[in-house]
Amino acid sequence: MTPASHVLLFATLQVLLGLAGLLTRRTGEVALVSGLVMLSGVLMAFCALAPDLEEGPQAAGVVVLLLLAALAVVGMAVLYAFHRYRRAVVVDEHDRMRR
């Protein structure tokens, strides 16, 4: 049986990797995938903490999974709309919403 501390360590590493990608990469698609990697790490953390959760991992994890799917769908839709204006999606250059 895998100890919960191992799963939490793995989840932390995955969240840190995703965070590093989200903060350092300028390409929109890579930033979106980094966010998905972070959410996947959160999902693993939910599984690690399953015995401490009243409802078990599945009910709590479904919420994170729904969030992950919604992020993927909405994020890809936004990126697709950006692609119609410019060929490359560089997130630093998209300040159109502020103006």
Partner 1 sequence: MPPILFWCLAVLSLLASGLAVTAGRPSRAMAAGVGVLLVDACLVFGLGAPLLALEMLLLGLAAALLLWALVLRPGRLRLGAPGRLRMNISRLLAFGAALYLAVLLSWALGATPGVQPAPARSLGGEFGPWAAGVLLGGAAAAAWVVVLARRRRPDEPGEAP
Write out the residues near partner 1 by the rule CB under 8 A: 1-3, 6-7, 10, 13-14, 17-18, 20-21, 25, 27-30, 33-34, 36-37, 40, 43-44, 47-48, 50, 55-59, 61-63, 65-66, 68-70, 72-74, 77-78, 80-81, 84-85, 89
Q: At what angle do helices 28-48 and 4-24 cross, to 10 degrees?
A: 160
Contact 45, 7 (CB under 8 A): yes
Residue 92's CB is within 10 A of a number of other CB atoms, namely: 7
Please state the closest distance from residue 3 (CB atom) to partner 1, in A. 7
- Both tokens of residue 19? 């965070």
Instruction: Give the separation between CA 63 and CA 71, rounded to whole angstroms.
Output: 12
| Residue position matching structure tokens 């995703």 | 18
| CB closer to partner 1, 63 vs 98 | 63
Please state the closest distance from residue 35 (CB atom) to partner 1, in A. 10
